Amino acid sequence: MPNPSRNRLPPGTVSEIAQNIRLCRVDIEALVKNWFGDSGIEGLRRPARDLSSIAPLPDWLAPGELETVQGFKALKRQVEWLAGRLAVKTLVTACLDAGLAPTNVTVACEPQGAPYLPLFPGHCLSITHAGRWAAAAVSLDPALAIGIDIERLSIPGTRAFLDLVFSAREQAALDRSDPLSLPRAWTLKEAYLKYIRRGFHRSLRQVELIDGNLLEHGRPAPVRWTVTPLAPGYLLALVFGARPSPSAEPD
Ligand SMILES: CC(C)(COP(=O)(O)OP(=O)(O)OC[C@H]1O[C@@H](n2cnc3c(N)ncnc32)[C@H](O)[C@@H]1OP(=O)(O)O)[C@@H](O)C(=O)NCCC(=O)NCCS
């Protein structure tokens, strides 16, 4: 029997970013203009609002997801979260099961925040959002774990930020004459923290990028990575490799 919600798939563009890894990116600016009229992402700096009347959402959201969105305090968080979930739903229906309705695709979270697909626990999932963009990536190979991160090119290079994020030897290795050096290192570090599924629960300075090598606790991390332009002004980092075993190292 035809499923009417199949006619109203969530927005998003799916691409292959590495072998067996698919990405869906969602343009938050376009979503916001579509939903709220003229206000772009600059108009998101407001308290949360009631999104239950946004027409297509009931076609996309699973039971409970609208309640989650309504529970956030800021409109920006509501829209970012939704955009990430729409990216996931697009990816799953495009790459894992074309017969699933978006309303049946859900995301659950591990205790430290890492997202996973309850319907496809063998396929690693990663989600990110920054500024105008949200994205989700899924691994089609159950042996392959992934982490992705989007970052704006214009990130603060203040002393406090550098000291919080980078070890002394990383800072020494940063090429400050290259404007991409800092955002590349930062987005890659965040993608790696998602790959190991710890996020900020792992000390940022325990993960280092030195001369193009990712190190964790000073030892080379057995991963591959890419950092590529996602859109003007934004970088996308992808870290991928074998599923990391639970680390005995302290955070
Ligand atoms: C994940 C994290 C490293 C990246 O944060 P960020 O660059 O600001 O945000 P991004 O948009 O790129 O990524 C956010 C997504 O990462 C995912 N994520 C959260 N924790 C994660 C983890 N431990 N491992 C992998 N992915 C994680 C989530 O899906 C989240 O999106 P969602 O909340 O909409 O589902 C960081 O937010 C984090 O560690 N969060 C969990 C712990 C926390 O909240 N600590 C705060 C106090 S230290």
Residue-wise pLDDT for 72-90, tens only, equals: 999 999 999 999 999 999 9
Q: How far is the CA of 239 from the centre of ligand 1 (A)?
A: 15
Residues 11-142, CATH architecture: Alpha-Beta Complex (3.90)
Q: Which atom of ligand 1 is nearest to the CA of 200?
A: 39
CB 47: neighbour CB atoms within 10 A? Answer: 10
Query: pLDDT at residue 144 above 80?
Result: yes
Q: Where in the chain is the domain with CATH 3.90.470.20?
A: 11-142, 148-242
Pairwise CA distance, residues 84 & 135, whole Å? 6
Q: Which atom of ligand 1 is nearest to the CA of 197?
A: 24
What pLDDT does residue 5 have? 44
pTM score of the predicted model: 0.94
251 alpha-carbon distance from chain centroid: 22
Condensed to tens digits (0 to 9), the pLDDT of residues 87-142 reads 999 999 999 999 999 999 999 999 999 999 999 999 999 999 999 999 999 999 99
| Residue 192: partners with Cβ closer than 8 Å, 6 or more residues away | 147, 207, 214, 216, 221, 223, 225, 239
Question: Residue 228, CB half-sphere, CA atoms under 13 Å: how many?
Answer: 10
- Contact between 125 and 107 under an 8 Å Cβ cutoff? The reply is yes
* 148-242 topology per CATH: Ribosomal Protein L22; Chain A (3.90.470)
Q: What value does the CA radius of gyration of the chain take, rounded to a whole number of Å? A: 18
Nearest residue (by CA) to ligand 1, atom 33, is: 81
Strand pairing partners for 136? 24, 127
